[in-house]
Amino acid sequence: MMKKKSEKSILPGSPNEVYSRLEDLGIDMVKDIDAGVSPGFETASRGRSNVKFDESVGCLRLGDRKEERTFVNVGQAKKFMQTVAVANKCKKFLKEGSHTSIRGLFYQLKFSLGESVDEELFSDQSESNPLIEDIETAISVKREDLNLYTDRKGVVAGPMTIKDKFGSEETTIDCRKQGRSGYAIPSDVDNGINFVDVEADYVLVVEKDAMWQRLNEDGFWKKENCILVTPKGQASRGTRRLIRKLASKKLPVYVFTDCDAWGWYIYWAIKAGSMNLAYLANDIAIPEARFIGVTMRDIKEYSFLENLTIKAKEVDIKRAQEMLSYPWISKHEAWVEELNQVLKTKRKIEQDALQGPRLSFVSEYLKEKIHAKKFLP
Amino acid sequence: MMKKKSEKSILPGSPNEVYSRLEDLGIDMVKDIDAGVSPGFETASRGRSNVKFDESVGCLRLGDRKEERTFVNVGQAKKFMQTVAVANKCKKFLKEGSHTSIRGLFYQLKFSLGESVDEELFSDQSESNPLIEDIETAISVKREDLNLYTDRKGVVAGPMTIKDKFGSEETTIDCRKQGRSGYAIPSDVDNGINFVDVEADYVLVVEKDAMWQRLNEDGFWKKENCILVTPKGQASRGTRRLIRKLASKKLPVYVFTDCDAWGWYIYWAIKAGSMNLAYLANDIAIPEARFIGVTMRDIKEYSFLENLTIKAKEVDIKRAQEMLSYPWISKHEAWVEELNQVLKTKRKIEQDALQGPRLSFVSEYLKEKIHAKKFLP
């Protein structure tokens, strides 16, 4: 049985490296069979109880618990076979240099294996996720490295250029010249994507697309020399990796969301990662990120906000309570105060409220808070 | 009371024209007040019973029924005032040359009107929609012309260049040079956007983003000299307007979706418009569009598909029955056959199934069908 090569980074560096890790996985199974033992491999347990907050890095990651996947096990045999078939297909995609979705992968399997493919297992991404994640964790790669598309979402504009080596061509994208649209963040920002001449002073992440468009129209990123990103709600894997890569270039990352359940979730998922993606750990988390707002304490500074708060919903109250129960959040006094203020007043504030006095006010607010370094941790 | 100027196109041509229509709306109300009558205006009834299929054009549009909005009416007074306040804000946005979302608009109103703004009325877009639609239909403009963002979605690549006059700058976007990402279709493709050097032979609309990425990777639009669009599911207003504008340049439009409830809906909404957007009629519908597939009859030609069909869900069955009840669909024998085939077999086919034999097969399929002109109407 192949042991997880934990000394390897989850970032394999090149498609050749991924290819050989897949090959090794197969070779080890053949060796098992030759030796007369059940072929199998080891993967990290991704159950909730094996997700820990790593204080030293500041992100959620998997603990040490491992699980075995093996052929000679009545409960696992079919799933095991399908996992091997998935690994085999991904190896083929890498060789061809072509990509597909998990749905495309399903039909490739169904075409070659016929009736033995469990339709239900692939009926949506959450069902087939465990198979792909088994492979990702077993050989320490991301699914993007296996030439599988993930849902892409989010746009970016600002002073940087991206070189996109795509098929046989290389395209240069100047993120200063994308007009009202911005550059659509791809599914995979590692393989074949290079960030050149990143000349910004910081990265500003804005929850809502309409707010991003507002700031883009105001020329915010030009005036402030920053990179303006919107995840369009919860951040996709591609958007998180993009922010992660910019943070690794020592750019400060500031996040601007609603002061509510969804906004806080978006921030903390960007900063500390999430339960579901704990297996990607600090390759996707950005512990350096800081929270700009909107905050309840903003009301002190910007008194007009008092009249623009709205009633907190049950989900906001529940989320605030939940967050207070996470030690990695409740250790920050500023967050405790903030969440308690929501629990006490049962009010919340949306980022759009900052457009109340005038549409351009939101730019003024952001500049003031960023330059005075008024962040929550 | 101002009568709807029905001779005017819904496309006003310039922000100045929109501005003066808003001004006229206000002037007429002031005249009403001076004359001692209740200020009001006339708008088209947008109820389902006033939506008709216009055979001469081939799209859903509003009938002749009008409705009055007036101040001196207990049931309407508050809504009427808010509509006037919305029109006033939009006039300001036009003067400033800045845009915002409906949410941003809500906070502008809340800031200036305080407690008299009905929070619930603006609590989500569907609640505030009627107010905006009243103004859109009363003065024959689109909300995009009122400097309001709509949800944007969808990407495009292919042989054309877009000039984006955005604020004080003009950006040139070459849709041949957008790499793996494509060009993100803006909310508004009319005001300040010009399509220059459109050198394509046709437009291909592909339901799913992952399939779009697959075809983009295969260089489909280069080999075929076409414009490759994905609405990413149901088409946004911006994406429909973009396709509409390309169709008006005499480019044939082919649509490629799943053979299921959702796929058919996407096609028919692109082609004939939808109930909700019937007030935009042929400014948003593309009656010229043709359906490539996937179709049940494809199984005859591509026999491997037989094994790659999946079980139709209740929603698919219900939708097929519903479609057969629409005269503008059931008049097409090919569609009747197609839908009956689904009802009979209770099977459906996804576009991803065409990746079964090999990932690039979907390109071969599309080329064959387009060149042999095997479309459904």
DSSP sequence for B342-370: HHHH-EEB-GGGGGSS-TTHHHHHHHHHH
- According to the model, what pLDDT value does residue B82 have? 86
- According to the model, what pLDDT value does residue B216 have? 97
What separation, in Å, do the N-terminal and C-terminal C-alpha atoms of chain A show?
43
- According to the model, what pLDDT value does residue A16 have? 87
- According to the model, what pLDDT value does residue B73 have? 83
Question: Residue A179 pLDDT > 70, yes or no?
Answer: yes
Answer whether B219 touches A (CB < 8 Å): yes
Do B184 and A183 make contact, defined as CB atoms within 8 angstroms? Answer: yes
> In chain A, what are the domain boundaries?
15-146, 155-371
Tell which wins on pLDDT, A255 or A1. A255
Q: Which fold has domain B15-146?
A: Arc Repressor Mutant, subunit A (1.10.10)
Cα torsion B67, B69, B74, B79: sign: positive
Q: Using 50, 70 and 90 to split pLDDT, how confident is the model at A121? A: low
What type of residue sits at position A280? L
Answer whether B352 touches A (CB < 8 Å): yes
What is the per-residue pLDDT across B58-107, written as a single tens digit (0 to 9) for each? 999 999 999 999 988 888 888 888 899 999 999 999 999 999 999 999 89
CA B103 to chain A, closest CA, distance in angstroms equals 6
Contacts of A194 in chain B (CB under 8 A): none
- According to the model, what pLDDT value does residue B282 have? 86
CA A186 to chain B, closest CA, distance in angstroms equals 6
Nearest Cα residue to B179 out of A96, A173, A121: A173
Cβ count within 10 A of residue B35? 8
- According to the model, what pLDDT value does residue A4 have? 43
A4-13, A62-71, A105-114: the lowest-pLDDT one? A4-13
Answer whether A110 touches B (CB < 8 Å): yes
- The residues of A annotated with a catalytic role in the active site are 107
Answer whether A368 touches B (CB < 8 Å): no
On average, the pLDDT of chain A sits at: 92
- According to the model, what pLDDT value does residue A9 have? 47
Contacts of A179 in chain B (CB under 8 A): 164, 166, 169, 171, 173, 186
- B residues 268-307 near A, CB within 8 Å? 304, 307
Answer whether B185 touches A (CB < 8 Å): yes
- According to the model, what pLDDT value does residue B114 have? 67
- According to the model, what pLDDT value does residue B3 have? 45
What is the per-residue pLDDT across A305-331, written as a single tens digit (0 to 9) for each? 999 999 999 999 999 999 999 999 999
Nearest Cα residue to B81 out of B37, B54, B121: B121
Encoded tokens for A35: 């030796």
In this prediction, residues A215-241 reach a mean pLDDT of: 97
Answer whether B113 touches A (CB < 8 Å): no
- According to the model, what pLDDT value does residue A123 have? 55
In this prediction, residues A75-83 reach a mean pLDDT of: 85
- The residues of B annotated with a catalytic role in the active site are 107
CA A119 to chain B, closest CA, distance in angstroms equals 8
Name the pTM for this structure: 0.94
Do B111 and A178 make contact, defined as CB atoms within 8 angstroms? Answer: no
Check if CATH label 3.30.1360.180 holds for domain B155-371. Answer: no
CA B149 to chain A, closest CA, distance in angstroms equals 7
- According to the model, what pLDDT value does residue A167 have? 78
- According to the model, what pLDDT value does residue B74 have? 82
- According to the model, what pLDDT value does residue B120 have? 58
- According to the model, what pLDDT value does residue B218 have? 96
Nearest Cα residue to B227 out of B208, B249, B199: B199
Question: Residue A82 pLDDT > 70, yes or no?
Answer: yes
- According to the model, what pLDDT value does residue B6 have? 40
Q: Contact, A323 vs A339, CB < 8 A? A: yes
Contacts of B153 in chain A (CB under 8 A): none
Q: Which residues of chain B have pLDDT under 70?
A: 1-13, 114-127
What is the per-residue pLDDT across A331-372, written as a single tens digit (0 to 9) for each? 999 999 999 999 999 999 999 999 999 999 999 999 999 999
Contacts of B306 in chain A (CB under 8 A): none
- Number of A/B CB contacts below 8 angstroms equals 167
Contacts of B184 in chain A (CB under 8 A): 155, 181-184
Contacts of B180 in chain A (CB under 8 A): 164, 166, 186-187, 192
- B residues 124-143 near A, CB within 8 Å? none
- According to the model, what pLDDT value does residue B124 have? 53
What is the per-residue pLDDT across A20-50, written as a single tens digit (0 to 9) for each? 999 999 999 999 999 999 999 999 999 999 9
Answer whether A13 touches B (CB < 8 Å): no
Q: What is the 3-state secondary structure (H, E, C) of chain A?
A: CECCCCCCCCCCCCHHHHHHHHHHHHHHHHHHHHCCCCCEEEEECCCHHHEEEECCCCEEEECCCEEEEECCCCCCHHHHHHHHHHHHHHHHHHHHCCCECHHHHHHHHHHHHHHHCCCHHHCCHHHHHHHHHHHHHHCCCCHHHHCECCCCCCEEECCCEEEEEECCEEEEEECCCCCCCCEECCCCCCCCEEEECCCCCEEEEECCHHHHHHHHHCCHHHHHCEEEEECCCCCCHHHHHHHHHHHHCCCCEEEECCECHHHHHHHHHHHHCCCCCHHHHHHCCCCCCEEEECCCCHHHHCHHHHHHCEECCHHHHHHHHHHHCCHHHHCCHHHHHHHHHHHHHCEEECHHHHHCCCCCHHHHHHHHHHHCCCCEC
Question: Residue A65 pLDDT > 80, yes or no?
Answer: yes
Do B184 and A186 make contact, defined as CB atoms within 8 angstroms? Answer: no
DSSP letters for A113-125: HGGGS-TGGGSSH
Contacts of A210 in chain B (CB under 8 A): 100-101, 103-104, 149
Buried b (16+ CB within 10 A) or exposed e, B271-295: bbbbeebbbbbbbbbbbbbbbbbbb
**Which of A239, A359, A364, A365 is the best substitution to test chain B (most B C-beta atoms within 10 A)?**
A359
Q: Using 50, 70 and 90 to split pLDDT, how confident is the model at A244? A: very high
Do B187 and A308 make contact, defined as CB atoms within 8 angstroms? Answer: no
